[in-house]
Amino acid sequence: MILGGGIAGLWTLARLRQQGYNAVLLETEALGAGQTRYAQGIIHGGTKYALTGKLTASSEAVSEMPSIWRACLEGKGEIDLQQATLISDAHYLWSTGSLASKITGFFASKVMRARTMELEPHERPGIFQHKDFKGNILRLDEPVFDTLSVLRAIASPIIHAILNIKPGSISRGPGNIEVDAADGTHYRFSCKKLVLMAGQGNADLIQKAGLSAPAMQLRPLKMVMMRGGLSEKVFAHCMGAGINPRITITSHTDTMGNIVWYLGGELAEAGVNRSDEEQIAMAKKEVASLIPWQSLDNTEWAVLDIDRAEVRHPDGHRPDTCYTEQHDNVIVAWPTKLALAPLLAQQIVDMLEADKVEATGGELPAWPEATFADYPWCEEARWN
């Protein structure tokens, strides 16, 4: 039994059902309604974590993820993502004209040589072919996915094993789980393993399971969205002098067909100490400084406050990789990053095999199909 219908929960459900387990996923909201729909969709290969010139635990943990995701997109991987949408075949790393930024770019390219390629001017994405661009561009082996299309591609073949339930309706007995479905139907499931993959919701589920560990931490972000007058899509990190990109841009489309730039990186990390108005002002300043040839006339701006849930570290720093911890028949898990969903799912499979949990099939009741979340930039109220 899996609790949590984000990317990690769905990937794990798909893997477990492949292995013959009669696994079921329970979700109180639309699929992807938690952290997943706020993700930028970048399948990191570790390059941005090597900006200090040395490989880190974070960079190595994600190094194989792009190839795993690409294989799935081609229908040759552990799950089938052929129906998912790839919105960019690569992410890019660009330096400004500053010396510190160029040095950082030099180390990143040398250390991550197999994962990067410096581009000639005519090979650069269109927005960086402008005559006023003075920096360098590296192409990263990091595909960018339409995240919610990934959810649909994973969930569609196993939708019968996903049940929307009423919040707070879960009760747990010896070897079983009882829930009330969203339509009011009561279900009782035999449960050999309970896997908590509800992101921020894990804190409450851990407590209800009678566990005192693991502890969860939240690392906030204040992301920025901009639209209006944008003619080109951008998928790139701008290198600063530190370990985090100065700004990370991905591009998406709202319900009216407008291009939306979604801004993260250090802008979003430091933005948690700013008001919404101050964060938008800083975003305007950064875009005007880094891409001065992009007009900001007639642009609209919005802010998204996001809490990333993960296992707690004593000093509050970001975990290097995904996390799993088992207490009797309860497994608590956080993926840490979208890209690490395959690694986390494999860890769950390995745990069940190590505990010799038998894969037993069986029929499931016919219940209403789960629904899917939408992107925040498609919610017009956020722009007002």
Same domain for 204 and 59: no
Strand pairing class (300-311; 216-227)? antiparallel
Domain end marker among 309, 334, 357: 309
% helix / strand / coil in the chain, to the nearest 5? Answer: 35, 25, 40
pLDDT in tens, 19-47: 999 999 999 999 999 999 999 999 988 76
Same domain for 160 and 28: yes
Tell whether the torsion through CA atoms of 12, 14, 20 and 26 is positive or negative: positive
Q: pLDDT at position 117, please?
A: 79
Same domain for 182 and 72: no
Q: pLDDT at position 61, please?
A: 67
Q: pLDDT at position 343, please?
A: 95
Same domain for 225 and 211: no
User: What is the rounded distance in angstroms from the CA atom of residue 71 to the CA atom of residue 80?
Assistant: 9
Same domain for 49 and 119: yes
Q: Which long-range contacts (CB under 8 A, 24 or more apart) does 113-121 make?
A: 115/45, 115/46, 115/47, 115/63, 115/140, 115/141, 116/47, 116/140, 116/141, 119/92
Q: pLDDT at position 320, please?
A: 84
Band the pLDDT of 198: cuts 50, 70, 90: very high
Domain end marker among 285, 309, 333: 309
Same domain for 57 and 198: no
**Three-class secondary structure of residue 246 per DSSP:** coil
Tally: H helices and E strands in the chain: 9, 19
Supply the DSSP string of 351-375, one letter for each residue.
HHHHTT-----------PPPPB---
pLDDT in tens, 132-180: 998 889 899 899 999 999 999 999 999 999 999 999 999 988 889 999 9
With beta carbons less than 8 A apart as the criterion, state whether 66 and 48 touch. Answer: no
pLDDT in tens, 301-344: 999 999 999 999 888 788 888 999 999 999 999 999 999 999 99
Q: pLDDT at position 222, please?
A: 98
What is the domain-level CATH number for residue 297? Answer: 3.30.9.10
Q: pLDDT at position 373, please?
A: 97
Same domain for 198 and 119: no
Strand pairing class (236-238; 91-94)? parallel
Domain count, the chain: 2
pLDDT in tens, 240-297: 776 678 999 999 999 999 999 999 999 999 999 999 999 999 999 999 999 999 999 9
Chain mean pLDDT for the chain: 91
Domain end marker among 262, 290, 309: 309
Q: pLDDT at position 274, please?
A: 98
With beta carbons less than 8 A apart as the criterion, state whether 249 and 94 touch. Answer: no
Same domain for 225 and 210: no
Domain range for 325: 2-37+149-215+313-383
Band the pLDDT of 56: cuts 50, 70, 90: low
Question: Can you tell me which residue has the tokens 């399971």?
Answer: 209
Band the pLDDT of 63: cuts 50, 70, 90: confident
Same domain for 113 and 95: yes
Same domain for 156 and 113: no
Residue 362: both structure tokens together: 């069986």
Same domain for 132 and 236: yes
Q: pLDDT at position 154, please?
A: 98
Same domain for 223 and 127: yes
